[in-house]
Amino acid sequence: MKVTLENPPWYEAETTTSARAGIELLDGVWREAALEFHAIRELRQQNGGPEPKGVQKFLNKAIEGRFSEAGWEGSEGRFRRDDTWIRVTFRHQMSLGSDFLDALWLSKKESVSQCLILAAPLEFLRIITPNDAGALVSFEKVMQKVALLNGIYEVPIILGSLSPHSAVARSIFDGLIGSRPRG
């Protein structure tokens, strides 16, 4: 996945070395997750089993595997190395406040000098999980929260928008944007 970074109004700093390394780990994650989703979907269609509803769990698995292999501490989309914390979120929008609270805690109590919150824009979430896209944390919702926090929250945080970067075959892409089972 590609990450486009944006600083909030209160924090102007370059990314740490660890933050840059963490962002690099996301390169190719979209392709890896999409291929696994497609393979499992095809297998279950052939065997009459329930199809996966979204790519979300495959993304989470690929992301966690890469961060773990690279020596980062953490799981479930929260990773730390040295003085850098990265949150990659595909969770319900109700969790967004806790992500900002985690960043506050880590920067004030745990010697973290830079936090990143990375989320997909709604348009990409509709491909990842069409049934739940509107209920998840989107980059747009992150930016709305930042606007509300401006002037009262001065945590060293950088925000990132995730987008699919690695190409997938047309047949796989068609399956990703096609109809998916509900319920």
Q: Can you give the pLDDT at residue 175?
A: 66
Q: Report the b/e string of 20-53 with b at 16+ CB within 10 A.
A: ebbbebbeebbbbbbbbbbeebeeeeeeeeeebb
- Whether residue 26 lies inside any domain: the answer is yes
Is 8 a member of any domain?
yes
| pLDDT score at 165 | 78
Q: Write out the residue range of the structural domain in which residue 92 sits.
A: 2-177
| Residue 21 covered by a domain | yes
pLDDT at position 13: 93
**Into how many domains does the chain fold?**
1
Report the pLDDT value the prediction gives residue 86, as an integer from 0 to 100. 98
Backbone angles phi, psi at 114, to 5 degrees: -150, 130
pLDDT score of 121:
98
Flag whether 7 is in a domain: yes
CB distance 120 to 150 below 8 Å: no
d(CA 23, CA 118): 9
128 falls within a domain: yes
Does any domain span residue 149? yes
Q: Is residue 182 part of a domain?
A: no
The predicted structure's pLDDT at residue 12? 94
Residues of the chain with pLDDT under 70: 166, 169-171, 173-183
Helix (H, G, I), strand (E, B) or coil at 88: strand
For position 123, which CATH number holds?
Answer: 3.40.91.20
Residue 183 lies in a domain: no
The predicted pLDDT at position 182 comes to 56
